[in-house]
Amino acid sequence: MVIIIQCEDRVGLVADIANVLAKAGCNIVSMREHVDSEENKFFVRIVADGIKDPQDIENAIKAVLPQKAIVRVDPKPEKNIVVLVTKEYHCLSDILTRNHFKTLGASVQCVIGNHPDLKNITERFGLPFYFVSHENKDKESFESELMHIILPFNPDYLILAKFMRILSPGFVYSFKLKIINIHHSFLPAFIGANPYSQAYKRGVKIIGATAHFVTNDLDDGPIIVQKITTINHSLKLGDLIKAGRENETAALVKAMQLVFEDRVFVYNNKTVVFE
Amino acid sequence: MVIIIQCEDRVGLVADIANVLAKAGCNIVSMREHVDSEENKFFVRIVADGIKDPQDIENAIKAVLPQKAIVRVDPKPEKNIVVLVTKEYHCLSDILTRNHFKTLGASVQCVIGNHPDLKNITERFGLPFYFVSHENKDKESFESELMHIILPFNPDYLILAKFMRILSPGFVYSFKLKIINIHHSFLPAFIGANPYSQAYKRGVKIIGATAHFVTNDLDDGPIIVQKITTINHSLKLGDLIKAGRENETAALVKAMQLVFEDRVFVYNNKTVVFE
Amino acid sequence: MVIIIQCEDRVGLVADIANVLAKAGCNIVSMREHVDSEENKFFVRIVADGIKDPQDIENAIKAVLPQKAIVRVDPKPEKNIVVLVTKEYHCLSDILTRNHFKTLGASVQCVIGNHPDLKNITERFGLPFYFVSHENKDKESFESELMHIILPFNPDYLILAKFMRILSPGFVYSFKLKIINIHHSFLPAFIGANPYSQAYKRGVKIIGATAHFVTNDLDDGPIIVQKITTINHSLKLGDLIKAGRENETAALVKAMQLVFEDRVFVYNNKTVVFE
Amino acid sequence: MVIIIQCEDRVGLVADIANVLAKAGCNIVSMREHVDSEENKFFVRIVADGIKDPQDIENAIKAVLPQKAIVRVDPKPEKNIVVLVTKEYHCLSDILTRNHFKTLGASVQCVIGNHPDLKNITERFGLPFYFVSHENKDKESFESELMHIILPFNPDYLILAKFMRILSPGFVYSFKLKIINIHHSFLPAFIGANPYSQAYKRGVKIIGATAHFVTNDLDDGPIIVQKITTINHSLKLGDLIKAGRENETAALVKAMQLVFEDRVFVYNNKTVVFE
């Protein structure tokens, strides 16, 4: 059973937490702890055996922690997600396949596309696809339609699997640190539109992809995972985009797995990832 | 200050250790714990602030641990090493350079070569080089000469930096888990002599290097670090050897850094590495 | 248009080939040439613009080459493949997805499984699945059933996408250098059964996957692509297998793309790969 | 013997070049060709056996090429270089070691530092070190002093091995495409000062290093090699800088090897690298 804790640091914190577990007869199988000394922040992820009543343990741990601590004992093991897409199939197909074979660590509730292109593949896997065009309407109306579809599913995370629309601050705020995006560059290089085209023009020898939480600063949210591929002069722009797809798929699925297994903590626009 | 512990696992171990530290007013800055549940083995590496008397803390921790536990509080921060070489310069040069600029995490006491080729480079860095030929003598005499040179330095580790002689069980036993070797293949592929030649003939697309502790089974000791390089058909055997050198140097230095920082635990012919 | 040539080497070969193209007004856009001087073998892959009649050019080139040369001008751009599977879904799903979106560079004709597990996913993509059990029959009968299904499709390649049966020399001979297998280890390490279990026991720090042409020596055919993943002590056998799947999928799809684009030449149980 | 050619593309170019070689009885052992179709640029690197008079061959090839073609037959196999440094030792030590063991592919003529810190290590390898302070003088005087030292060595390349001064356009112009710099970031991310500090603050999961030719646009010259290292939250800024050093050393030495072996062509602020 997983226990995650994020709070202010102080002397004796590990002892106090470990004592709660020891008294309850629980064995710590694995423990990853990190302290940011500059910021005085404490992060721990514990895997423990022998927990009988998670809520009891959670309360007992809370009682020994500083104010405002975040504690979760036995967080939901399978998250619910809603996937937003535009036209590109590679990230979505990978998600659908893993969801189908129950290796995603989450359950896809539905897919929403601002283009209808990926309806077919979604439905092949027996999942609902909602087409919500962004055309001929303002962002508010568009996002209100999205919300109308998303909210009933009460998802733990929204996955932007190559969803090419910028979401408004209001929308992002409603899903604070619950939206994961895949950006097709090695951030902070090539922020914004057409990163592959920028990379091609610059003649870089490595291209990347970045999975990150979405905040209101475009492509500037906390980074979860980055992946790269070595390229060379012989790749034209189209080849670069093709090579990049493998990266994007790999970075997004890795980020999802880390988040779904409660291995990712966020503070100061950065992440602590206990891989 | 670093604390390392290796012992049988039981419920409450982390609590007991953390209590010792909390009572002494020490703060745990970083903690990496691993339990091998199948073997019931517990490993932890703690970085703690505020330790006044390491020996006191070590005794106090020992008192709460199972029998036969290995505990070290504040292990020697700079290890002494003796480096054994044959003719190839790349690993040795890297060690000498880092030693010179004090970034090796160890202090090179001397270099011993069974050929004289590397005397010049060693002496350029102001270090003693001992030439001990293996020719025209049996292994026992050869190793006895090595011992005669090594023992006065009382080294924490022997580094085989491309030392091309196989050491006897007796010699290895005298430095149990204190000899680090770099093998020029991705073990367990290409055990024994001429791994690059074997790799070339087999037409592999990746070559590797393996840094490991030396045991009495040739190239079969606990692996610390492995590194690889992608190759292709255009590399002839000589190019492969050249490409491999970068790997060997990188794998050996990484392994040394991990061992010197007390991040490597050994059991069952395997390692736990808290990187 | 692609031109591939494999033959004995001699002085003037490139000139003679290039002259044929120049006379026909064709421009060489890209050219990769390799000579194995020890074996006196010549390999070239040319991409040329302006070829009007590929058969004419092929004949003209043949006329200037040594005996027994292999020449193909404009080889079939989309290969037909038959995929053989057992129970694991990851390689097959990746193939089916890319086939569906026409980015595989080949057209999947059908999938054959010696277990029925992957019938469902295959049929979701509208492709025929044939279940051919290997149980209660000898290898000859089993392979005869396979043949009966395969031959009408006249495939260019058979893809063993985690097909866990060893094929007989006779079967392999019928598809000489046309069967691509994915082996779940970094060959030649861990040949044969249960490579992950072997790797786990050995405590390696890197696991691999190898895509290769099938020959009659188990896991010893010409290697096309190898991929690796770094692991550590915290991964149990199950995690290792899971981590390995990503490798296997990536290595197989890369090997297929290289083969389907006519970038792979075979000789002496090795490959020349013009990536 | 190596032949390199860079010129406008046209039909028949490869044939014309190959005919020159065939007539002279030379065998093409390896050939890498690239055409940028958009820019109509042709690049080729040939390794040929049996060249008797390189100058004759060069003239004969020139005669069949378009105007303004760059042709070199048997370019100087060992380049002369001058190395410029500031205080950091890692790139310089690597260069000095390889130079000493004759595996750099170039001959270091001297080292110039704008601080005296690396005089000691340079002189240990028996090479001259010139200390040229940049303090209390304008850039013109500083660079004039550099020139005064550099010019008598007539170097083929200047290597900026962590030289932390920005060179003036005039200086750069004097060594057009002959100055190789190592920048300690994954360009174009983190241009300018303190890239590791920027990377640390941004919370990236991968850091990089970029070896490039120096032009007048800061950190914007043609990229030759990029290398990366995966990092995580546990690395403080100092650890990041330490980890980055390995990258920098590796990227710079790789770039040097490629340039010294005449594998790098430059056009449009990009490189073609025949690795």
DSSP string across D103-147: -SSEEEEEEEESSSTTHHHHHHTT--EEE---TTS-HHHHHHHHH
Kindly list the partner chains of chain B, i.e. chains with 3 or more CB atom pairs below 8 Å: A, C, D
Kindly list the partner chains of chain D, i.e. chains with 3 or more CB atom pairs below 8 Å: A, B, C
Contact C11 D25 (CB under 8 A): yes
Looking at the structure, do residues B207 and B224 belong to the same domain, yes or no?
yes
Residue A177 phi, psi dihedral angles, 5° rounding: 55, 25
Return the number of other C-beta atoms located less than 10 Å from residue D107's C-beta: 14
Q: Name residues whose C-beta falls within 8 Å of residue B184's C-beta, 6 or more positions apart in sequence.
A: B162, B195, B196, B209, B244, B247, B248
Span A241-255, mean pLDDT?
A: 95
Q: How far is CA D219 from the centre of its chain?
A: 14
Looking at the structure, do residues D87 and D68 belong to the same domain, yes or no?
no
pLDDT digits (tens, 9 = 90+) for D141-179: 999 999 999 999 999 999 999 999 999 999 999 999 999
Q: Which of D30, D89, D242 sits opposite B234 (nearest CB)?
A: D30
Chain A residues whose C-beta sits inside 8 Å of any chain D C-beta = 34, 186-190, 202-206, 208, 222-226, 228, 232-234, 268-273, 275
Residue type, A173: Y
Q: Distance between CA D21 and CA D31 in Å, rounded?
A: 13
Residue D110 forms beta bridges with which residues?
D82
Residue of chain A whose alpha carbon sits nearest to that of C94 = A94
Q: Which of B12, B21, B31 sits opposite A31 (nearest CB)?
A: B31
pLDDT digits (tens, 9 = 90+) for C92-119: 999 999 999 999 999 999 999 999 999 9
What DSSP line would sit under D197-255, residue for residue? Answer: HHHHHHT-SEEEEEEEE--SSTT-SPEEEEEEEE--TT--HHHHHHHHHHHHHHHHHHH
Looking at the structure, do residues A95 and A173 belong to the same domain, yes or no?
yes
Q: How far is CA A72 from the centre of its chain?
A: 18
Among B183, B233, B259, B265, the strongest candidate for a mutation testing the C interface, having the largest count of C CBs within 10 A, is: B233
* pLDDT at res. D188: 84
Which CATH number characterizes residue B140's domain?
3.40.50.170
C-alpha distances out from residue B77 to B43, B72, B73, B107, B120, Å:
20, 12, 11, 10, 29
pLDDT digits (tens, 9 = 90+) for D67-86: 999 999 988 888 999 999 99
Contact D188 A204 (CB under 8 A): yes
Looking at the structure, do residues D116 and D32 belong to the same domain, yes or no?
no
Q: Which of B29, B32, B34 sits opposite A35 (nearest CB)?
A: B29
Contact A18 B15 (CB under 8 A): yes
* pLDDT at res. C77: 81
* pLDDT at res. D218: 73
- B125 neighbors B99 (Cβ within 8 angstroms): yes
* pLDDT at res. B185: 87
In chain A, the N- to C-terminal Cα span, in Å, equals 16
* pLDDT at res. D77: 81
State the greatest distance between any 2 C-alpha atoms of chain C, in Å, as a whole number. 63
Half-sphere exposure for C185 (CA within 13 Å, toward CB) = 23
Interhelix angle C237-260/C90-100, nearest 10 degrees? 40
Q: Distance between CA A22 and CA A169 in Å, rounded?
A: 44
Residue of chain A whose alpha carbon sits nearest to that of C88 = A101
Catalytic residue annotation of D:
219
Interhelix angle B13-23/B54-64, nearest 10 degrees? 150
Give B-chain residues touching A50 at CB under 8 angstroms. 11
pLDDT digits (tens, 9 = 90+) for C191-208: 877 889 889 999 999 999
- D6 neighbors D265 (Cβ within 8 angstroms): yes
pLDDT digits (tens, 9 = 90+) for A66-124: 999 999 998 888 899 999 999 999 999 999 999 999 999 999 999 999 999 999 999 99
Looking at the structure, do residues B14 and B131 belong to the same domain, yes or no?
no
Provide the Cα torsion A261, A265, A271, A274; round to 10°.
-50
Looking at the structure, do residues A68 and A84 belong to the same domain, yes or no?
no
Half-sphere exposure for C263 (CA within 13 Å, toward CB) = 19
* pLDDT at res. C210: 96
Please give the residue that has the higher pLDDT: either D193 or C254. Answer: C254
How much of chain A exceeds pLDDT 70, in percent?
100
Residue A118 phi, psi dihedral angles, 5° rounding: -100, 15
The mean-pLDDT minimum among C182-186, D13-17, D48-52, D215-219 falls in D215-219
Which CATH number characterizes residue A35's domain?
3.30.70.260
> Does the pLDDT of residue D216 top 90, yes or no?
no
Contact C242 A103 (CB under 8 A): yes
Give A-chain residues touching B17 at CB under 8 angstroms. 18
Q: Which residues of chain C have pLDDT under 50?
A: none
Contact B121 D100 (CB under 8 A): yes
∠ Cα A25 A30 A32 (to 5°)? 120
Provide the Cα torsion C258, C262, C263, C268; round to 10°.
110
Contact A21 B34 (CB under 8 A): no
Last residue of a domain, one of C73, C96, C112: C73
> Does the pLDDT of residue D193 top 90, yes or no?
no
Span A185-208, mean pLDDT?
A: 88
Give C-chain residues touching A246 at CB under 8 angstroms. 250
Residue C222: asked if its preceding bond is cis (omega within 30°), the reply is no
Residue B195: asked if its preceding bond is cis (omega within 30°), the reply is no
* pLDDT at res. A187: 82
Q: Distance between CA C231 and CA A275 in Å, rounded?
A: 11
What DSSP line would sit under B201-243, residue for residue? Answer: HHT-SEEEEEEEE--SSTT-SPEEEEEEEE--TT--HHHHHHH
∠ Cα C132 C133 C139 (to 5°)? 95
SS3 call for C13: helix
Span A223-240, mean pLDDT?
A: 94
Kindly list the partner chains of chain A, i.e. chains with 3 or more CB atom pairs below 8 Å: B, C, D
Looking at the structure, do residues C170 and C229 belong to the same domain, yes or no?
yes
Q: Distance between CA A265 and CA A271 in Å, rounded?
A: 5
Looking at the structure, do residues C265 and C145 belong to the same domain, yes or no?
yes
Look-up: residue for tokens 């030379």?
D26
Residue B152: asked if its preceding bond is cis (omega within 30°), the reply is no
Residue of chain C whose alpha carbon sits nearest to that of D50 = C11
Looking at the structure, do residues A171 and A39 belong to the same domain, yes or no?
no
pLDDT digits (tens, 9 = 90+) for B137-151: 999 999 999 999 999
- A99 neighbors A111 (Cβ within 8 angstroms): no
Contacts by residues C237-246 (CB-CB < 8 Å, ≥ 24 positions apart)? C237/C196, C237/C197, C237/C200, C240/C196, C240/C199, C240/C200, C240/C207, C241/C196, C242/A103, C243/C207, C244/C184, C244/C196, C244/C207, C244/C209, C245/C88, C245/C90, C246/A250, C246/C90
Contact D11 C34 (CB under 8 A): no
Tell me the two tokens of residue C199. Answer: 């790797």
ipTM of the complex: 0.93
Residue A101 forms beta bridges with which residues?
none
Q: Distance between CA D210 and CA B1 in Å, rounded?
A: 36
CB pairs under 8 A between A and B: 75
SS3 call for D184: coil
> Which structural domain range is residue B198 located in?
79-273
Residue of chain D whose alpha carbon sits nearest to that of C11 = D27
Min Cα distance B124 → chain D (Å) is 6
Q: What letters, b where the CB count within 10 A reaches 16 and e where it falls short, cover A204-223?
A: bbbbbbbbbbbbeeebbbbb
Looking at the structure, do residues C68 and C124 belong to the same domain, yes or no?
no
* CA nearest neighbour of D13 among D53, D41, D38, D39: D41
- A199 neighbors A226 (Cβ within 8 angstroms): no
Q: Name residues whose C-beta falls within 8 Å of residue B40's C-beta, 6 or more positions apart in sequence.
A: B8, B9
Min Cα distance C101 → chain B (Å) is 29
Q: How many domains does chain C have?
A: 2
SS3 content of chain D, % helix, strand, coil (to 5): 35, 30, 35
* pLDDT at res. B211: 97
Residue D27 forms beta bridges with which residues?
D49
H-assigned helices in chain B = 13-23, 54-64, 90-100, 119-124, 139-150, 169-174, 195-202, 237-260
Q: Which residues of chain B have pLDDT under 70?
A: none
Tell me the two tokens of residue D59. Answer: 């003239």
A179 burial class (0-12, 13-18, 19+ CB within 10 angstroms)? buried
Q: Distance between CA B184 and CA C209 in Å, rounded?
A: 20
pLDDT band at A249 (very low <50, low <70, confident <90, very high): very high
Min Cα distance D239 → chain B (Å) is 12
pLDDT digits (tens, 9 = 90+) for B6-56: 999 999 999 999 999 999 999 998 899 999 988 999 999 999 999 999 999
How much of chain D exceeds pLDDT 90, in percent?
89
Catalytic residue annotation of A:
219
Q: Which of C14, C26, C50 sits opposite D28 (nearest CB)?
A: C14
Give B-chain residues touching C275 at CB under 8 angstroms. 232
Residue of chain C whose alpha carbon sits nearest to that of A102 = C89
H-assigned helices in chain C = 13-23, 54-64, 90-100, 119-124, 139-150, 169-174, 195-202, 237-260
Last residue of a domain, one of A73, A102, A126: A73
Min Cα distance A270 → chain D (Å) is 5
Looking at the structure, do residues A66 and A83 belong to the same domain, yes or no?
no
Looking at the structure, do residues A42 and A65 belong to the same domain, yes or no?
yes
Give D-chain residues touching A188 at CB under 8 angstroms. 189-190, 202, 204
Last residue of a domain, one of D26, D47, D73: D73
This prediction's pTM: 0.95
Give A-chain residues touching C94 at CB under 8 angstroms. 97
* pLDDT at res. A192: 77
- B15 neighbors B25 (Cβ within 8 angstroms): no
- A199 neighbors A185 (Cβ within 8 angstroms): yes
Min Cα distance C273 → chain D (Å) is 13
Return the number of other C-beta atoms located less than 10 Å from residue D232's C-beta: 15
Give D-chain residues touching C35 at CB under 8 angstroms. 27-30
* CA nearest neighbour of D34 among A235, C1, A243: A235
pLDDT band at A27 (very low <50, low <70, confident <90, very high): very high
Min Cα distance A191 → chain C (Å) is 27
